[in-house]
Structure 1
């Protein structure tokens, strides 16, 4: 016995049967729950055992917890418990090999003075390393064994700008002109992708749900759903 279609409740024969989402459908009835665009096994998205297109697939949302007085009380209690635990750990760690020094203005002044002394010593050691024992510079470029490299010929490089000619658009076949009202990503090789607002030219109607046309922005042509565009 042949099953019934989940969309129209009519008998589905094997030649036109689509088995998906634990249900049976006619090929023409397997469409998006919102825009009724005809889908296939490659471009459908299932939610709650219902087919959707990528544009109208239900978006999941996060649950927001209300900031009620009870929640505020629990939050304050958790914060107090954390502070108590921190103080307990701090008291236990006292006297175990390290001490906490307060960052007072006096300690900041001493730290700054130590940094200045370290910087002066660094420059003194650096200058000593650059001078020899007799006070003469020890730069490798002034040593007797150093030879100035021979002068290499210079080359003038004058690159010329390269002009790339854009490929001419395919000739118009006298079809109708439409404008996209949704973004669409191609699911098969014979389909074409476009963005909201793109101009679709040379459009030819194929059946009730699909058309053939060329995207003027990209120059690519192929199959496209008819309910994603509107005539101009």
Structure 2
């Protein structure tokens, strides 16, 4: 699968990326305002979690407040001690105060829920990144790993590591930026078959690490320059054609 450079935000903040991913992501950060904001915000959230503090009330607070309001009886006003004209405002003040408390707690709970979901999403991204990183390391450390390299005609290099023991390979692209309005696309070429897409990079993305299952059955890994979102078939000429041993 292709590791979308944008999804490395969580892994980068949690220091769960390898040296290649870190270099690629830090280069990407110089060009992507959205990712810079995400890194800053997630870093602040991670710091708050590390301090074991909450920036907003926890969800159970609203339930407790509502329970107490429901079971606490209000003493009826004494007619002799308080004129009728004063009890209605008192009840209105209590109702208004209770509504304000509930509204504030409800708003806080909503903010917490959004923040909590965002943290869970980022954790899932980080876990997926760690699993992908572990798979990359396993393939690269295989006793039968074979490395093949090819320069990219637009600048840079693509390296392919294959392991028959794991029936998989790792494609590591580190190229110069593609022309404006174009993206890099990876392809696998197998005997007697049409080239198959192995991943499309985002606009402005020139580095990627891709794990390809079943790669030892291919003869070539190609790189082309395509329109955004890629093409169904390669646009020739290939800017890199890595022959696999």
TM-score of the aligned structures, taking structure 2 as reference length: 0.17
Highest Rg: 1 or 2?
1
